[in-house]
Structure formats: C-alpha cells, structure tokens
C-alpha cells in the first residue's frame, strides 16, 4: 500500500514539476500527516528536493531521481533485453552532471553505514594487529573466490584456499582459472602493502591494478581500442580510445572530488565496470580498486561472499541500461554489513 501511495506522490510531482503539500492534499486521498511523512522520507532519500520555507515550500524531483529510484528487479528482468527500454550507449552526462550533484546514500543509509564503521573501528582497535591480519586474510580469500566466480571461474572456495595457501592446483581445473585467482592475490597484496597508493586516484594507477589482475591471461593491459559486447544486454560501451581515456579521467576526477569514502567505493565499483575501459578484467579491477579506496580511508573492505553472481550481474546490468544505482547500492550496503559482522565482529 505504501509503495503505491508514494508512487502516486512522485508521479504527481513529476507531472506538475513543482508542487506544494497542499496541492497534494487536494489531489491524493491521503491524510495531511501521512503526505508530510512521505515527503520527508522522499527528501531524505534524495528523490525529491524541498525549496522555500513554511507554507511556501515546494517540492521538485531531484536530478538524481532516476539514479536512485528503487527498481523491482524481478519485474525488470521479466522482460526480454530488447524490450527493457534500455539506454544503449555510455552517458557522459551521468558523470559530468548527475553524479556531481548527487548524494548517493539517504540519511538512513548513511547512518547505517556510519554505525557499522564505528563497530569496525572498535573491533580492530581491540583485537590487535596479528588477529586483524588473520581475519583480513580470510576476507581476502573469500574476495578472491567470489570475484573470480562472478567472472565464471569454477574453483570452489576450499579449492581457492588450497591454491592460495598451499599452491595446490585443483584437479580438473584450467591453468587460466588458477592464474585468475593468483592474480587477485597479487593485486590484493599490492594494495595492502601500500594503503596510500591510490591517494589520489589516477588513470595510470588504475592501469597498474588492472595489469596485475590480467597478467598471464592473454589480455592487453592498455585502454581498449575496439568495441566490445556484453552478454545479456544491448548496452554498448564506448569504443573510441580517446573517448574512453577521457571518460576514465572524468571518473578519476569525480571520485577524487567526493569526500565520502562510501560514495567513492560505490562509484568505483559501478563506473569502472560501466565504462569497460579494458578488453577484459573491468569488473575485477572495479572490485579491487573499490576495496583499495575503502582501505585507504581505514574502512572495512568487502568480500562480496554472500551475494550470488547472478544477483550481482543483474544489479550491474541495471546500472548499464538505466543508469540506476539502487540495486548495486543495496548490494554495497549489505556486503559492508556482512563484512563487518562476518570478519570483524567482536
């Protein structure tokens, strides 16, 4: 019921562009206190903006509405990819305009993340450095396994642990799969050995991390010079090298300008995947660099262990096709909570 009521309010504001609370009372069959409550929630979720004060207050749709609006993924993916009204190409305005102006986390979401961060800091202060390193090692193995599984790697978690700790190759698996896993380990070791390496983030530092992740896999470590296709979507990334480089610089500048470490991590996770700057290894690079930036600011890294590969891919494709970050944001928040609870709970 609430979802339908809120939807009516949003539709009315979008249609009329600028409305007052009294305009809504006259049009929508809801009590005054209920409408004011929903307007407050929508404003805190950064979906609408209140202008003016008192009775002169007007409400408009926020520039970030399409970016942040909740989407029912089951309903969205019930449609064939040719019938999802998807955006086909890369949108430069997303970075240069919308994301510049947007606050990605609602007040409630930010409070939840801040509380988790406090718990994380309290935990690592109390457990000591040696125990912290052991827990971080467990998280790293989970991340190596899950990040590779998302890319189609068939190593199990236990097989991944045996490969990382005992250099034991799994029977029936390819050398390329082992190389992918070991490359993750190299990249994670690299960023944990120098937590300030990505301060500030630069294009060349992104290329450095990508190079570690694709070594021995027959993939170029340079910015892509040709078009690529992505399974399951009609979205087509940029294919002109100069445009890709420009877009990557835009991403770097945007992330460096943001002050909120959670926003930095989420943006990197989404935008490096969205741009597809390299022939392969883009999502891997995004996950590792996102984690590196979180750790730069003494925030908990994510293993992504409890999210399914298909849910991760659906959330990312939604961002590609609609420039909507809501599903990936929910994964990010949930995985931050999972990481704090699973690896660093007192």
At 25, the pLDDT band (50, 70, 90 cuts) reads: confident
What pLDDT, on the 0 to 100 scale, is given for residue 104? 96
Average pLDDT for 311-320? 98
Give tens-digit pLDDT for 229-281.
Answer: 999 999 999 999 999 999 999 999 999 999 999 999 999 999 999 999 999 99
Give the architecture (CATH level 2) of 2-62. Orthogonal Bundle (1.10)
Sign of CA dihedral 124, 129, 131, 132: positive
Using CB atoms within 10 Å of the CB of residue 43, give its burial: 0 to 12 exposed, 13 to 18 middle, 19+ buried: middle
What per-residue confidence (pLDDT) applies to 346? 66
Confidence of residue 207 (pLDDT cuts 50, 70, 90): very high
93's tokens:
């305005």
Burial class (CB in 10 A: 0-12, 13-18, 19+), 3: exposed
pLDDT at 30 over 90: no
Q: CATH 1.10.10.10: which residues of the chain?
A: 2-62
Which pLDDT value is given to residue 1?
A: 62
- Residues 46-64 have pLDDT tens digits of 889 998 887 788 999 888 8
Q: Is 6 left (phi over 0), alpha (psi -120 to 50) or beta?
A: alpha
Rounded to a whole number, what is the distance in angstroms from the first to the last CA of the chain?
A: 39
Residue 179: is its pLDDT beyond 80?
Answer: yes
Cβ within 8 Å of residue 118, ≥6 positions away: none
pLDDT for res 289: 98
Residue 304: phi and psi, rounded to 5, are 65, 15
CA distance 272 to 289: 9
Measure the CA–CA gap between 331 and 313, rounded to whole angstroms: 11
Start and end residues for every CATH 1.10.3290.10 domain found in the chain: 82-344
| Mean predicted lDDT score pLDDT of the chain | 94
Look up residue 65 and give its two tokens. Answer: 């509405």
Measured over all CA atoms, what is the biggest interatomic distance in the chain, rounded to whole angstroms? 71
The band of 8, judged by pLDDT with boundaries at 50, 70 and 90, is confident
Quick one: pLDDT at residue 152?
97
Q: What is the DSSP letter of 49?
A: E
Distance CA 261, CA 296 (A): 9
pLDDT of 39 > 80? The answer is yes
Nearest-5° Cα angle at 308, 214 to 179? 20
Structure tokens at 24: 């809504």
CA dihedral 198, 202, 206, 209 (to 10 degrees): -40
Closest by Cα among 229, 310, 301 to 269 = 301
Q: What is the mean pLDDT of residues 166-188?
A: 98
Q: Which letter does DSSP use for residue 236 in this model?
A: B
Q: Are 60 and 18 in contact (CB under 8 A)?
A: yes
Q: Tokens for 70?
A: 């909740």
Q: Phi and psi at residue 282, in whole multiples of 5°?
A: -70, -50
The structural architecture, per CATH, of the domain 82-344 is Orthogonal Bundle (1.10)
CA–CA distance, 182 with 334 (Å, rounded to integer): 27
- Please state the separation of Cα 85 from the chain's center in Å: 22
Q: Which residues contact 16 (CB under 8 A, 6 or more apart)?
A: 23
What integer pLDDT is reported at residue 64 of this predicted model?
Answer: 87
Cis bond upstream, residue 200 (ω within 30): yes
Structure tokens belonging to residue 264:
């930095």
């Amino acid at each position: 019921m609430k979802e339908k009521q809120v939807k009516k309010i949003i539709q009315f504001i979008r249609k009329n562009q600028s409305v007052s609370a009294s305009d809504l009372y006259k049009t929508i069959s809801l009590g005054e206190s209920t409408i004011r409550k929903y307007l407050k929630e929508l404003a805190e979720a950064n979906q609408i903006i209140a202008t003016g004060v008192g009775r002169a207050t007007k409400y408009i749709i926020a520039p970030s509405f399409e970016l942040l609006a909740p989407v029912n993924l089951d309903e969205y993916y019930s449609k064939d990819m040719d019938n999802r009204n998807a955006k086909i190409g890369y949108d430069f305005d997303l970075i240069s305009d919308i994301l510049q102006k947007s606050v990605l986390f609602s007040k409630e979401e930010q409070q939840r993340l801040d509380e988790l961060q406090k718990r994380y800091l309290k935990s690592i202060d109390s457990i000591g450095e040696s125990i912290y390193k052991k827990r971080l090692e467990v998280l790293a193995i989970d991340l190596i396994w899950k990040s590779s599984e998302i890319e189609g790697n068939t190593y199990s978690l236990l097989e991944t642990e045996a490969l990382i700790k005992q250099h034991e190759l799994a029977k029936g698996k390819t050398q390329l799969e082992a190389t992918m896993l070991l490359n993750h380990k190299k990249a994670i070791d690299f960023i944990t050995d120098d937590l300030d390496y990505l301060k500030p983030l630069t294009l060349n530092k992104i290329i450095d991390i990508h190079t570690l992740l694709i070594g021995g896999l027959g993939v170029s470590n340079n910015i892509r010079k040709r078009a690529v296709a992505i399974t399951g979507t009609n979205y087509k990334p940029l294919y002109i090298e100069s445009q890709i480089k420009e877009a990557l610089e835009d991403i770097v500048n945007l992330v460096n300008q943001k002050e909120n470490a959670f926003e930095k991590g989420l943006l990197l996770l989404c935008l490096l995947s969205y741009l597809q700057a390299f022939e392969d290894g883009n999502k891997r690079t995004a996950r590792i660099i996102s984690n590196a930036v979180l750790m730069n600011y003494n925030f908990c890294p994510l293993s992504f262990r409890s999210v399914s590969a298909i849910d991760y891919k659906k959330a990312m494709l939604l961002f590609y096709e609609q420039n909507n970050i809501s599903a990936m944001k929910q994964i990010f928040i949930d995985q931050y909570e999972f990481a704090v609870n699973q690896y660093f709970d007192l």
